[in-house]
Amino acid sequence: MIIFNKKFLVLLIAILSLGLFLAACGGGDSEESTGGEEANGGEESSEESEGESSEGSGEGEFEEQEWRFVTEELQGEVQYEYAAEFAKRIEEKTNGAIKVEALEYGALGSEVDQAQLLQQGGVEMAVMSPGFTGGQVPDGQIFSLHYFFPADPAKTQEVLTNSEALNKDLRAKYEEHNITPLAFWTEGSMAWTSNVGIEKPSDWEGLNMRVQESPLMRESYDAYGATVQSLSWGELYTALDRETVDAQENPLFFIESASFHEVQDTITISNHNNYVAMTTVNTGWYNGLSDKEKTLIDETVTEMQDWVFEEQKRQNEAGLEAIKSDEEYDTKVIELTEDQIAEFKKVAEPVHEYYRNEVKGIDPELYDKLKKEIEEISGE
């Protein structure tokens, strides 16, 4: 029997909406398309940029236009609230000339569909998790290494904001695929949920772990003895409920708002990784904007690094509180000790070297540069 719960309906609506949307925009390469085809190297024909990226009509003014900003989360969650705050700031700064429509998960399909839409120019902007394009941009998989970035979200945010390896070198790699990441930011430390209560690496043996589309995530969990399955988060509640998947990782606010704790008995505070999201724009579209428009976007994105850090912190604290005080669903919260974390590190750290030396398409220099930047910030 099919269980029509909230998550299932979100997925169904997503699939139907995507079909309608793709039919309407002709797969993204119609004249209405904003950014040209994938991997156009950021070049855009003069026809495409005409009328979309001209200078404002006067000093300090902007031409009227509308940008679509798709996110992988629902209203109230960090990514959506980021897009809504960005929209508010842009409208204020342009006296309403530029309107930004924040779109929640489900409006345009799954996370993978959304990434493709951005690449094709079906939307101008997206909050994107690197895990969904790991097959296309292998270097973006660096965010799925365990115990690589600092455990402290504030330090990770500092790395994400200031790293040249990410904001210059990795950005260039995404741009080969018509995705320009303008900023990287954390949605908080991820925790593991399961019914077994994960406390040591061997607890993973025989578990089927849900992952995003990043091949490296398989390696990270393989090392602990788990199998993996990639799924959109819209399918995850049902998969956990039916036990076709046994475990998943996410920041605490997301575990609570997606109700994963309702169908999992335990949460392990593992500090194994921070969730990273990127503010992205379609490269062809962005390159076709005027300098004034680019500066408007860049400055707003920069300002919002502190805003989003505070937002995720607030939401993660509230999420943990809500899980702990939930009287209907009792969830055991396990906090790993330093000794337990050391056991996980012993297994996870060889995957760092494997990633650097063995994974196809990886740039070892980018890895080395980022590692050095992380060491400088974490003071190790």
Interface ranges with ligand 6CS (CB under 6 A): 72-73, 111, 129, 187, 212, 233, 250-251, 254, 275
3-state secondary structure of 98: strand
Q: Which of 48, 113 has the CB closer to ligand 6CS?
A: 113
Is 182 within 8 Å of 307 (Cβ atoms)? Answer: no
Q: Strand ranges (DSSP E) for the chain? A: 65-70, 98-103, 125-128, 179-194, 208-211, 227-230, 248-251, 266-269, 274-282, 332-335
Kindly state the smallest distance separating residue 133's Cβ from ligand 6CS, in Å: 12
Q: Which of 72, 175 has the CB closer to ligand 6CS?
A: 72
Q: Which of 182, 209 has the CB closer to ligand 6CS?
A: 209
Kindly state the smallest distance separating residue 45's Cβ from ligand 6CS, in Å: 33
Alpha carbons 355 and 364: distance in angstroms, whole number: 9
Where on the phi/psi map is residue 189: left (φ > 0), alpha (ψ -120 to 50), or beta? Answer: beta
Both structure tokens of 120: 């094709």
Short-list 344, 332, 339, 336, CA closest to 202: 344
Q: Which of 40, 250 has the CB closer to ligand 6CS?
A: 250
Kindly state the smallest distance separating residue 254's Cβ from ligand 6CS, in Å: 4
Alpha carbons 346 and 371: distance in angstroms, whole number: 18
Kindly state the smallest distance separating residue 111's Cβ from ligand 6CS, in Å: 5
Short-list 359, 343, 184, CA closest to 275: 184
Q: Which of 67, 233 has the CB closer to ligand 6CS?
A: 233
Q: Which of 29, 235 has the CB closer to ligand 6CS?
A: 235
**DSSP percent split of the chain into helix, strand, coil, nearest 5:** 50, 15, 35
Which residues are registered as beta bridge partners of 67? 100
Alpha carbons 229 and 208: distance in angstroms, whole number: 7
Q: Which of 217, 296 has the CB closer to ligand 6CS?
A: 217
Cβ partners under 8 Å of residue 248, min gap 6? 192, 193, 209, 210, 236, 240, 260, 264
